[in-house]
Amino acid sequence: MQGFGGTVSNAFFQVSIVVKWIIDFTNGGVIMAASIKQQEQAHLDNVIGKIKVAQTKSQERIDQAEQDEGAIRDNFQNDLRLKTDSYEGMMETALSVRQQQQLLSERQNSWQHATDQLATLQKLEKSPYFARIDFHETGEPKTETIYIGLASFSDRPDHFLVYDWRAPISSIYYDGGLGEVTYLTPDGDQTVNVKLKRQFQIEDGQIKTVFDTDEAVGDQMLLDALSEQSDTKMRSIVTTIQKEQNQIIRDTKSDLLFVQGAAGSGKTAAVLQRVAYLLYRYRGRLNAGQVILFSPNQLFNDYIDQVLPELGEQNMVQMTYYQYAGRRLPKIQIETLSQRFSEDYSQAQQAIDRLKSSLTFFNAVTAYTNHLEKEDMIFRNINFRGKPFFSKEKIHDIYYSFNDNYNLKNRIDGTKEQLIKQLNRRVSSETRTKWVEEAVQSLSKEEMDRLFGDEPREFDSEEKEFQFLARKIVIRAFQPIRQAVVRNRFLSINSQFIHMLKAMPLIVDLQQAGISPADWQASVDQAVADMKAGTMTLSNVTPYLYLYDQIAGKHGERDMRYVFIDEIQDYTPFQLAFLKFSFPRARFTLLGDLNQAIFTKENSKTLLSELSTMFDPEKTRVVQLTQSYRSTQQITDFTRHILINGEAVTAFARNGDLPQISVPKTVSAAVDRLIDQVEVNNAAKETTAIIGKTLSQCRDLYEILQKRGVAVTLIQSENQRLAAGVIIVPSYLAKGLEFDAVVVWDASAANYHDEGERQLLYTICSRAMHQLTVIATDELSPLFDTVPTDEYERVD
Ligand SMILES: Nc1ncnc2c1ncn2[C@@H]1O[C@H](COP(=O)(O)OP(=O)(O)OP(=O)(O)O)[C@@H](O)[C@H]1O
């Protein structure tokens, strides 16, 4: 900490001193500190001045492009004469249209470019940067100074006044303190000696605070960032990215990057910055449409959709797994999250569900599809005028007529080709049938005109004319057949799926999976009944899609380059294997907290080991985030004790009130307590989420509060928007979200008693940033017994 006196070794202590010196104008160190602030303000003013000049230039370019576009359009209208009487004339017209289009598209590109640039400059003008680094590169004569901000800004070629936070050099800001720091450049590792790290808080062009630090990102800055109130939208964390998060953001080597992080450890935040980083790093080669994020629910999508635009990037494709599967099965009603959550499965159903979720089952489906290369493929007739046109037997014969080495894709392609050929061959013979003859005879004039189209109507004989029209009619009538072939309508995916389920006892060891033949048979019968009713359970959906893709020869979306999956603990190994199959050329970033597995529960532990078998270990990287940034120390301590043998969680030193537990005797007393707490939170301007276990419990509470005149919004479905003010939300929709204050509603023994609900309770409580209140009636859930009594306050 040169220039600030002293060799105090504790980094946090040093930061505090520096902050104090800069702010405290009566202190002896003032003159230097204050002059630093003045110098920095002068530099800032200079940069902002240049940003304004650049803005004017961008605006001029925009105006120019708009003017040019107008002029091109005018010219085009005045000059264009359509010459269609000769071939040359037509060519000339086409060329001139094309030329104009090219000119227009050039202007549009230049307009777009200037508009994007202006938007960036407008952002930069208010707060051009947040950090300064002075460093010395070995072999270079001088120490260099760089400033880091949301985007790069240069006033002339290669003269950068601000470096983008994603530029290789910016990494040294996040990765280390003072002294030797190594960062990755496109040419390999580069080491520099960092002399100074200075952080700024700038608002509207004015430096509010400036402090030097010898840490990666000073605690003070982070503390300030974290003390802000929650919002219905997540914000970017570029100014305070932590070292471990930076590792995640900048990883470009791993095929599988697995991030295990405690609740609130910034997994989601880091991953959104990672998307922004990748879009910057691979600019021109990667676009936002080649990145997909699977998120836990639609509410969460809504919550995070501002982060990338704030960073000047477009949002990636965002979807829940449910939407992804549902989109492909529009005619089937898939079991919803809410249904799945409220379902109480029997032991036998649980065992079956477990098997269907496993990699073993994925491999079994693969084995079954391999078997289909030899036999057992089920086909449907393609009918025409009520009779089989291509019978299923015929299709079967074609399908199995190919060489042994044909795989399913070759077979289906070959079969389609053959069927289309045969269809074409049948046109002539069909023209001689009675229905065609009748159809030709009963053609109206308009219909005939339509059939002739632009073609000449001179025929040598009536017979020829008849032939012509008959062919046209037959081709038109065969169109649905052609479509049925192209669209694989001759496959019978439903029957095939049931056939597969029936065949499973021959492929997997049911006994080992703890499933009796009778229970398995019952589950197959249920699947048949569901299908007849047009519904499907979540556990059947993915095997169904995988089977379909295999037999239809689909091998996934090859264009997708990066797949992000948040809340990975709620996915089954089967689903993950399917996603890997569906995005064969993508790199995967998986984020999860094995402590928060609320759907898959105990399965989550095996998830990691199953995952490791799916990816090359050489290209797999596991990063652990243990520090929780969301909650105060008190809340983090409380929540982590709900877990038994939970993954490591450490609190970030930020103080707040102890969580409160209230256990009134009656429901009405509990409601009184709830209303009191909501009023306290409202008065403190803290947004409150009341989290109930199930939707129906939330509905009941909502009605009670309505009657009592309390203003609340009930979030019932994932398609709703998060509202400001007090909300009531069922637990499974609160995933991934955070609120200033959380009230856990009805945490009584009657409601939460099963060991399997521990993770759910942890997830609910860990949504709180500053205030946590637990309300139960009659008797508190025994799941809180593991929390030491000095970590909460009893308010009865
Ligand atoms: N480096 C950071 N600087 C500032 N804020 C941060 C940082 N890292 C995380 N946060 C904040 O901490 C909170 C929790 O982060 P986030 O939601 O990403 O955690 P998570 O690991 O996805 O949590 P969960 O698994 O519980 O959903 C957010 O408000 C986020 O902005």
| Structure confidence at residue 343 (pLDDT) | 64
Is 604 near ligand 1, meaning CB less than 6 Å away?
no
Residue 577 lies in a domain: no
| Structure confidence at residue 86 (pLDDT) | 67
Find out whether 136 and 145 touch, Cβ atoms under 8 Å: no
CA distance 614 to 607: 11
CA of 588 to the centre of ligand 1 (A): 20
> What's the pLDDT tens digit per position in 364-414?
999 999 999 999 999 999 999 889 999 999 999 999 999 888 899 999 999
CA of 6 to the centre of ligand 1 (A): 35
Q: What is the identity of the amino acid at 423? A: L
DSSP bridge pairs for 147 = 132
| Structure confidence at residue 119 (pLDDT) | 87
Examine the fold and report which residue of 487, 521, 550 is the final residue of a domain before the chain moves on. Answer: 487
Residue 288 lies in a domain: no
CA distance 220 to 210: 11
Is 226 near ligand 1, meaning CB less than 6 Å away?
yes
Is 242 near ligand 1, meaning CB less than 6 Å away?
yes
Name the residue with tokens 């529009």. 330
CA of 736 to the centre of ligand 1 (A): 9
CA distance 752 to 782: 8
262 carries a ligand binding annotation = yes
Q: What is the identity of the amino acid at 243? A: K
Examine the fold and report which residue of 471, 487, 503 is the final residue of a domain before the chain moves on. Answer: 487
Residue 146, token pair as written in the block: 């760089």
Is 659 near ligand 1, meaning CB less than 6 Å away?
no
Which residue, 224, 67, 64, is CA-closest to 130? 224
Q: Which atom of ligand 1 is nearest to the CA of 242?
A: 1
CA distance 630 to 770: 9
| Structure confidence at residue 628 (pLDDT) | 86
Q: Which atom of ligand 1 is nearest to the CA of 593?
A: 25
Q: How many domains does the chain have?
A: 3
What b/e string do you get for 398-414 counting C-beta neighbours within 10 Å, with b at 16 or more? bbeebeeebebeebbeb
CA distance 321 to 568: 11
Is 777 near ligand 1, meaning CB less than 6 Å away?
no
| Structure confidence at residue 220 (pLDDT) | 66
> What's the pLDDT tens digit per position in 482-540?
999 999 999 999 999 999 999 999 999 999 999 999 999 999 999 999 999 999 998 99
Find out whether 617 and 640 touch, Cβ atoms under 8 Å: no
Residue 43 lies in a domain: yes
Tell the residue nearest (CA) to atom 29 of ligand 1.
630
Residue 210, token pair as written in the block: 């400036």
At residue 60's C-alpha, the angle toward residues 57 and 61, to 5°, is 90
Residue 297 pLDDT level (bands cut at 50, 70, 90): confident
Which residues, at least 6 apart from 249, have a Cβ–Cβ distance to it below 8 Å?
241, 270, 273, 274, 277
Residue 166 lies in a domain: no
Residue 25 pLDDT level (bands cut at 50, 70, 90): very low
Helix (H, G, I), strand (E, B) or coil at 184: strand
Q: Which atom of ligand 1 is nearest to the CA of 763?
A: 26
Which residues, at least 6 apart from 706, have a Cβ–Cβ distance to it below 8 Å?
712
Is 629 near ligand 1, meaning CB less than 6 Å away?
yes
Examine the fold and report which residue of 457, 487, 517 is the final residue of a domain before the chain moves on. Answer: 487
CA distance 510 to 179: 61
| Structure confidence at residue 467 (pLDDT) | 86
CA of 629 to the centre of ligand 1 (A): 6
CA of 270 to the centre of ligand 1 (A): 8
Least confident interval from 108-112, 425-429, 436-440: 108-112
Residue 695 lies in a domain: yes
Q: What is the DSSP letter of 656?
A: -
Q: Quick check: 476 pLDDT over 80?
A: yes
Tell the residue nearest (CA) to atom 24 of ligand 1.
263
Is 261 near ligand 1, meaning CB less than 6 Å away?
yes
> What's the pLDDT tens digit per position in 384-394?
988 999 999 99
Residue 170, token pair as written in the block: 């910016």
CA of 242 to the centre of ligand 1 (A): 11
| Structure confidence at residue 33 (pLDDT) | 59
Alpha-helical segments (H) within 228-357: 243-249, 267-281, 298-304, 307-310, 321-328, 337-342, 347-357
Tell me the whole-structure pTM to 2 decimals. Answer: 0.81
CA distance 355 to 519: 13
CA distance 432 to 449: 22
CA of 12 to the centre of ligand 1 (A): 21
Residue 128 lies in a domain: no
Is 592 near ligand 1, meaning CB less than 6 Å away?
no
Is 236 near ligand 1, meaning CB less than 6 Å away?
no
To test ligand 1's pocket by mutation, which of 227, 237, 241 has the most ligand atoms within 8 angstroms of CB?
Answer: 237
Mean pLDDT, to the nearest integer, of 47-55?
93
CA 740 to chain centre: 24
Mean pLDDT, to the nearest integer, of 556-570?
91
Q: Which atom of ligand 1 is nearest to the CA of 270?
A: 18
Helix (H, G, I), strand (E, B) or coil at 627: strand
DSSP bridge pairs for 209 = 201
268 carries a ligand binding annotation = yes
Helix (H, G, I), strand (E, B) or coil at 96: helix
Burial of 552: CB neighbours in 10 Å, binned 0-12, 13-18, 19+: middle
ipTM of the complex: 0.98
Is 307 near ligand 1, meaning CB less than 6 Å away?
no
CA of 234 to the centre of ligand 1 (A): 9
Q: Which atom of ligand 1 is nearest to the CA of 263?
A: 26
261 carries a ligand binding annotation = yes
CA of 94 to the centre of ligand 1 (A): 56
CA distance 775 to 636: 18
> What's the pLDDT tens digit per position in 176-199?
778 888 888 878 888 899 999 898
Tell the residue nearest (CA) to atom 15 of ligand 1.
266
CA of 631 to the centre of ligand 1 (A): 9
Q: Which long-range contacts (CB under 8 A, 24 or more apart) does 505-513 make?
A: 507/364, 507/367, 507/368, 508/355, 508/360, 508/361, 508/364, 510/355, 513/351, 513/354, 513/355, 513/360
| Structure confidence at residue 525 (pLDDT) | 96
CA distance 151 to 158: 14
Q: What is the identity of the amino acid at 672? A: D
To test ligand 1's pocket by mutation, which of 260, 564, 629, 642 has the most ligand atoms within 8 angstroms of CB?
Answer: 629
Find out whether 169 and 67 touch, Cβ atoms under 8 Å: no
Is 245 near ligand 1, meaning CB less than 6 Å away?
yes
Q: What does 446-513 look like in DSSP terms, one character per residue?
A: HHHHHHHTTS----SSHHHHHHHHHHHHHHHHHHHHHHHHHTTTTB-HHHHHHHHHHHHHHHS-TTTT
- C-alpha distances out from residue 774 to 353, 393, 554, 661, Å: 33, 65, 50, 5
CA of 243 to the centre of ligand 1 (A): 14
Tell the residue nearest (CA) to atom 16 of ligand 1.
266
Name the residue with tokens 């605690």. 219
Residue 22 pLDDT level (bands cut at 50, 70, 90): very low
DSSP bridge pairs for 179 = 194
Find out whether 395 and 490 touch, Cβ atoms under 8 Å: yes
Is 264 near ligand 1, meaning CB less than 6 Å away?
yes
CATH number, residue 661: 3.40.50.300
Residue 287 lies in a domain: no
213 phi and psi angles, rounded to 5 deg: -145, 155
Residue 629, token pair as written in the block: 């940034």
Q: Which long-range contacts (CB under 8 A, 24 or more apart) does 145-150 make?
A: 146/170, 147/47, 148/173, 149/124, 150/120, 150/123, 150/124, 150/238, 150/311, 150/312
Strands 206-212 and 188-203: antiparallel
CA of 165 to the centre of ligand 1 (A): 19
264 carries a ligand binding annotation = yes
Is 477 near ligand 1, meaning CB less than 6 Å away?
no
71 phi and psi angles, rounded to 5 deg: -65, -40
Q: What does 511-528 look like in DSSP terms, one character per residue?
A: TTTT--HHHHHHHHHHHH
CA of 229 to the centre of ligand 1 (A): 13
- C-alpha distances out from residue 24 to 19, 176, 213, Å: 8, 28, 18
> What's the pLDDT tens digit per position in 200-244?
888 889 998 888 877 655 566 677 777 666 666 787 788 888 888
Find out whether 741 and 681 touch, Cβ atoms under 8 Å: yes
* Structural domain that includes position 72: 35-122
Q: Torsion angle of alpha carbons 189, 192, 198, 201, nearest 10°? A: -20
Is 736 near ligand 1, meaning CB less than 6 Å away?
yes
CA distance 98 to 104: 10
351 carries a ligand binding annotation = no
Q: In which region does residue 266 sit, left (phi positive, over 0), alpha (psi from -120 to 50) or beta (all else)?
A: left
Residue 9 lies in a domain: no
CA 346 to chain centre: 33
CA of 591 to the centre of ligand 1 (A): 12
266 carries a ligand binding annotation = yes
